[in-house]
Amino acid sequence: MSAIAAYRALLRIVGPAYVVVAFLGRIPLAMSQLGVLVLVSTETGRYGVGGAAAGILAVANAIGSPLAGALADRVGQRPVVLVQSLVGAVGLVAVVLVTGAGAAHGIIFLAAGITGFAMPQVGPLARVRWRPITSDRGDQRRLVDAAFSYEGAADEASFVLGPALIGVLAIVAEPAGALVAAAVLLAVFGTWFAVHPTSALVAKRAATDVVGGSTLWTVSFVVLVFAQLCIGAIFGSVQTGTTVLADGVGQAGAAGLIHAVLGIGSVIAGLAVTALPERVLYATRMLVAATGLLVLSAPLLLVDSILSLVVVIALLGFAVAPYMISNFALAGILVPLHRVGTAMTLLAGATGIGYALGASLAGRLADDSGHRPAFAVTVAAAGVALVLALAANRTLREARPVAHA
């Protein structure tokens, strides 16, 4: 089955509406961090306060998501995502209200933390649904490959579109209006994703397919968690270094658009991954992509202009999605079926923690010496990703896709 045929088959199975709902359902999370940063910074006049609020939201989500994923594995996605969507939407509005009312910084941080803790990770949970969705199909391996490739590309696209929407809406409707729009999107499409008929498939399997043991924290899975920490650190340090360089050349407003180029290349590569032959194992794909991360990030140490930065980031993006898709696909194979939701949200949470760590370290180094030390964090994280892939390659190669029927 060709890549295009696989994507067409997936659309026939679930229908275009589900794909649209699952994509739009993840946009609010992508909007929330930058939206809170812009709103709080604007209202308080202090970027430090805005950055702290956004960081608290991100870390709280990284903590809350695996807990929600574990609960969804036990009781099904429908009730968990439904509550998360509604509470998260209310939380976003609460951040707007307390910030606009000039509340103490502690109250703003509390609202941001509760909101981040509650917001659903739609992307990882959507990945969990694809195996039961395709369980009665003859070429499930190829279909799941295509589904995971699409989900990786969709995640990247959401993290390009989300900040872009914040930028546009902040101009049209003020920062508060942008965050309220994110709340509306979450309430509508997060709820729709929760109640979609595919959620019943996950609930049924979670209740009946507890087989093959319950061990989650194997050596292989720990490797995948650290791998996602690395990719998160790459995201955070690239965004920080880009902001510093753009500001240094007098084009601070272009930082978001420049960073979006990373996502564009990643989306293209993510969609293309499904064309790889089945004989190319996920562990091999991970190793090749990790090598690409290091090789393609190294020129960041030499960039000194917007043009050169755009070129390097565009190329780097082509290694990002294949790396992440391989990690999530391996998790789907390595962990027990009834704990896949926990595993997927843990990997997403690790990415968020890595982002915070990468951005923080890059920011501190950039304060002293500019954009190059910030990008050195990117290269270092890519190097660690490659070492992990090399060290764990033999163990990961032993994993084989199995039929989760």
- Provide the residue ranges of all domains of the chain, joining segments of one domain with +: 1-208, 209-405
At 348, the amino acid letter reads A
Among the ranges 169-183, 191-205, 291-305, 333-347, which has the highest mean pLDDT value? 291-305
Alpha-carbon Rg of the chain, whole angstroms? 20
Top-tier CATH class for 1-208: mainly alpha
Equal fold, 1-208 vs 209-405: yes
Q: Are 193 and 158 in contact (CB under 8 A)?
A: no
| Alpha carbon distance 164, 34 (integer Å) | 10
* Residue 234 contacts residue 287 (beta carbons within 8 Å): no
Q: Tell me, what amino acid is at 359?
A: A
| pLDDT value at residue 2 | 74
CA distance to 34, 113, 159, 170, 361, per residue, from 256 (Å):
10, 24, 11, 14, 19
How much of the chain exceeds pLDDT 70, in percent? 93
Nearest one of 208, 183, 69 to 132, comparing CA atoms: 208
The mean-pLDDT minimum among 65-69, 191-195, 352-356, 393-397 falls in 352-356
What is the DSSP code (8-state) at residue 398?
Answer: T
Q: How far apart are CA 282 and CA 290, in angstroms?
A: 12
List Cβ neighbours of 110 (8 Å cut-off, separation of 6 or more): none
Name the residue with higher pLDDT: 144 or 171.
144
> DSSP 3-state assignment of 215?
coil
pLDDT at 255: 65
**pLDDT of the residue at 204:** 53
More confident site: 50 or 233? 233
**Nearest C-alpha neighbor of 53 from the set 120, 104, 123:** 104
More confident: 203 or 191: 191
Measure the CA–CA gap between 1 and 181, rounded to whole angstroms. Answer: 40
What's the confidence (pLDDT) of residue 405? 39
Tens digits of per-residue pLDDT, 11-34? 999 999 999 999 999 999 988 887
Q: At the topology level of CATH, where does 209-405 sit?
A: Growth Hormone; Chain: A; (1.20.1250)
Q: How much of the chain exceeds pLDDT 90, in percent?
A: 41
Backbone angles phi, psi at 249, to 5 degrees: -100, 10
CA distance 218 to 397: 15
Q: Output the pLDDT for position 236.
A: 82
CA 81 – CA 210 distance, rounded (Å): 21
